[in-house]
Amino acid sequence: MRKILFVCLGNICRSPLAEGIALHLVKEQGIKNIVIDSAGTANYHVNEAPDHRTTSNALKHGIDLSSLRARQFKKGDFDAFDEIYVMDENNLKNALKLAETNSHKEKLKLLLSIGDFGRLDVPDPYYGTENDFEKVFQLVYKAIKELINVKN
């Protein structure tokens, strides 16, 4: 069974978007034996729904995030997940502080490092405009398609 975790800062914009897109594509493709979750390195929004702008933007693309709730990334996630994809360098540094072994460290990757995106950080749209949320959606969608090897 493949177990994937997506991580950002508060777990209300980028990582729940990645989780929602992955869940949507996995269901659409009929992929079985996969666990997908998301978390934030900070505890600002624990148990909150994703940001309404993220939710609204995802829904425009047919992806429903309404059942997702924020949680904080924890040490136990290193043992619970095989692959951990972080949205940016700052959160990668935060996650690395919790890594206790080389095996833990090796599980951490920047989401955009899996493809040729011309950048490594998924920008945080929190203080941005609706257009910023759409740009983040497009970046994350392309990365998730590549990550789970979606056939078009």
Please tell me which residue in 2, 69, 124, 132 is annotated as part of the active site: 124
72: left (phi over 0), alpha (psi -120 to 50) or beta: beta
Please tell me which residue in 2, 13, 14, 69 is annotated as part of the active site: 14
Chain centroid to Cα 52, Å, comes to 17
Residues, the chain: 152
Active site residue 13: no
Active site residue 124: yes
Active site residue 8: yes
Q: Provide the annotated active-site residues.
A: 8, 14, 124
